[in-house]
């Protein structure tokens, strides 16, 4: 069964190489381990911070990217009016949370931003002042291309907080999710709402 997990092109190359049984076993085992790892994609360090800075950058033309005032205005435009509880409707919950961190320090962000400092480095510098900036992560994404049993096995290894985050990102009714007690209930709901990731 494991051969089915090896990409066709790689399988042809393996067979053409006249590999020994040990080489074949190693190649197949690597493919299996890679495939099993595929269902859940975890977030990276500072990903929400970097994503929001990239979005702000797209609001600026070439000349504005060197202007601190233009950058401050772009941050306001990107985040919306958080003081009156009117965030930008295009933002997800994690992006809105990041805006709550960024708006009070928007002028401090504009300084390195205006020098074209890489977004990852800007976020790492902000992390030194406030570690929470890089602790905000997008919920893990569940890939629906593998057998359900393998997806379930991966989901069972996740914490309830992460499972709840997946459902929240999909827009599943929070009142319904709040009634869940067992991890299996979260997993069942994730499987029935997989189409919402598309």
pLDDT at residue number 179: 92
pLDDT at 150 over 60: yes
Percentage of residues of the chain with pLDDT beyond 70: 72
User: CA torsion, points 167, 172, 176, 182, in degrees to nearest 10?
Assistant: -20
pLDDT in tens, 101-128: 999 999 999 999 999 999 999 999 999 9
Strand intervals (E) in 55-134? 80-81, 86-87
- Average pLDDT value for residue range 71-85: 94
- Average confidence (pLDDT) over 60-86: 94
**pLDDT score recorded for residue 52:** 96
Contact (CB, 8 A) for 133 and 126? yes
Element (H, E) at 141: strand 141-142
Share of the chain above pLDDT 90, in %: 45
Global pTM reads: 0.56
pLDDT digits (tens, 9 = 90+) for 7-56: 444 444 444 444 455 444 444 434 333 333 333 444 568 999 999 999 99
Query: Which value, to the nearest 10 degrees, does the dihedral of the CA atoms of residues 49, 54, 55, 58 take?
Result: 160
């Amino acid at each position: 069964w494991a051969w089915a997990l090896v990409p066709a092109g790689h399988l042809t190359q393996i067979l053409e190489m006249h590999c020994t049984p040990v080489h074949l076993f190693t190649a197949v085992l690597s493919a299996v381990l890679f495939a099993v790892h595929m269902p859940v994609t975890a977030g990276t360090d500072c990903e929400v911070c970097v994503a929001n800075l990239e979005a702000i950058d797209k609001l600026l033309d070439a000349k504005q990217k060197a202007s601190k005032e233009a950058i401050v205005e772009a941050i306001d435009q990107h985040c919306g009016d958080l003081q009156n509880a009117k965030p930008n409707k295009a933002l997800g919950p994690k992006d809105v949370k990041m805006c709550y961190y960024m708006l009070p320090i928007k002028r401090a962000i504009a300084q390195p931003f205006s020098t074209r400092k890489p977004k990852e480095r800007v976020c790492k510098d902000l992390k030194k002042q406030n570690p929470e900036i890089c602790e905000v992560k997008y919920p893990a994404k569940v890939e629906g291309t593998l057998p359900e049993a393998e997806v379930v096995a991966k989901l069972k290894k996740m914490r309830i907080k992460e499972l709840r985050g997946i459902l929240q990102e999909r827009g599943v009714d929070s009142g319904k999710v709040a009634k869940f007690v067992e991890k299996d209930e979260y997993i069942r709901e994730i499987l029935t709402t997989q189409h919402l990731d598309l």
